[in-house]
Amino acid sequence: MVVVMGPEATEADIAAVVSIVETAGGEAFVSRGVARTIVGLVGDVDQFGSLNLRGMPGVRDVIRISVPYKLVSRENHPERSVVRVGGVPIGPDTMTLIAGPCAVETPEQTLQAAQMAQAAGATLLRGGAFKPRTSPYAFQGLGEQGLRILADVRAETGMPIVTEVVDAHDVELVASYADMLQIGTRNAQNFALLQAAGEAGRPVLLKRGMSGTIEEWLMAAEYIAQRGNLDIVLCERGIRTFEKATRNTLDISAVPVAQRLSHLPVIVDPSHSGGRRDLVLPLTRAAIAVGADGVIVDVHPHPETALCDGPQALVDGDVRELARLVRELPPVFGRTLTEPADALTTAG
């Protein structure tokens, strides 16, 4: 059961709802989105029915939700959400390109990759400072030094940054640099991390687990939402199957399925899905055509020396084609490529 607060609701109104639910033996989880605040109730639903919550000050609606992911479900939230990252929207009317290096290696490489990203039409910069690697002997990222490089490149280019956090206790540190926190496929059920991200005050990019069902993915989002953060963007990045011609199998159907079940934006990562440079542009076209709200791609100035996932990074020659693609294709489907954050700011 979910209590939807009106825009006029005060903190005292919210606190009163929480209090009455707890007094009745239930639990109440307050989630604050851009547009409105929602209180998710756990406990004896029939008893909540007798509390007359609907009559309390600031309450707009009280809704029973049939699915287990109550706060991110589209059942009580038919309009699809827009999540803003440093001013850049990700949502149903736009197509947002996020690009950058898989891993932050040096200031020069990161700046060059950011310039490639901008040339391609990207408005958000991706780049990993903390890298989860299958092997403990592989490059694990530069850590805070990488975050500082990202912040410098943001200052230089004006691009808000999206970067991964791999441990609950790094969330505060990463959030102090990042405009958006990324949670990777290996942490799709790291519930401590999801909860910490829910409390960090930053939008979250939540990748699907490589063997996670769509329902499990939405439940992971619910962990974040339950801690008060509805600014979540879902990212399909390929699932693990028997096929070995590609690194993972992009589940393109997951985009419309997740968009029907949840109000959250859904984007696609064609780089990690295929794991092959030659598939990135075809899969980007497919992602835009199927209705994705954005795309996140790896670019690298010198992929042959990349410390991480070089074989899938786009190079200079691909960037022009990507730029053409992300400008020309979205309008066919009633969307426009998002404008840079500074253009947006200046315009505003």
CB of 303 to its own copies, least distance (A): 19
The reply to whether 273 sits near its own copies by the rule CB under 8 A is yes
Smaller CB distance to its own copies: residue 67 or 119? 67
| Whole-angstrom distance, CA of residue 220 vs CA of residue 239 | 16
Among 211, 305, 336, 345, binds its own copies (CB under 8 A): 211
| Whole-angstrom distance, CA of residue 234 vs CA of residue 72 | 11
CB of 262 to its own copies, least distance (A): 12
| Whole-angstrom distance, CA of residue 57 vs CA of residue 106 | 54
CB of 276 to its own copies, least distance (A): 8
Cβ atoms of 309 and 102 within 8 Å: the answer is yes
Q: Candidates 30-38, 82-90, 164-172, 340-348 — which segment interacts with its own copies by CB under 8 A?
A: 164-172
CB of 251 to its own copies, least distance (A): 5
What sign does the dihedral 54-59-60-62 (CA atoms) show?
Answer: negative
Q: Which residues contact 19 (CB under 8 A, 6 or more apart)?
A: none
Q: Candidates 3-11, 154-162, 206-214, 338-346 — which segment interacts with its own copies by CB under 8 A?
A: 206-214
The reply to whether 192 sits near its own copies by the rule CB under 8 A is yes
Smaller CB distance to its own copies: residue 85 or 307? 307
Q: Candidates 18-26, 161-169, 294-302, 308-316 — which segment interacts with its own copies by CB under 8 A?
A: 161-169
| Whole-angstrom distance, CA of residue 130 vs CA of residue 139 | 10
Helix (H, G, I), strand (E, B) or coil at 130: coil
CB of 197 to its own copies, least distance (A): 13
Cβ atoms of 247 and 272 within 8 Å: the answer is yes
Scanning residues 52 to 71, which ones bind its own copies (CB under 8 A)?
A: 68, 70
State the DSSP string of 59-102.
EEEEE---SS-TTTBSTT--SPP-EEETTEEESTTEEEEEEE-S
Mark residues 109-138: x for contact with its own copies by CB under 8 A, - for none.
Answer: -----------------------xxxxxx-
| Whole-angstrom distance, CA of residue 214 vs CA of residue 258 | 7
Q: Candidates 102-110, 112-120, 163-171, 305-313 — which segment interacts with its own copies by CB under 8 A?
A: 163-171
Q: Which of 243, 244, 268, 247 is CA-nearest to residue 256?
A: 268
The reply to whether 45 sits near its own copies by the rule CB under 8 A is no
Cβ atoms of 31 and 223 within 8 Å: the answer is no
- The residues that touch its own copies, with contacts defined as CB under 8 A, are 42, 68, 70, 132-137, 166-170, 186-187, 189-193, 195, 210-211, 213-216, 219, 222-223, 226, 239-246, 249-257, 260, 273-274, 278-279, 282-283, 285-291, 328-329, 332-333
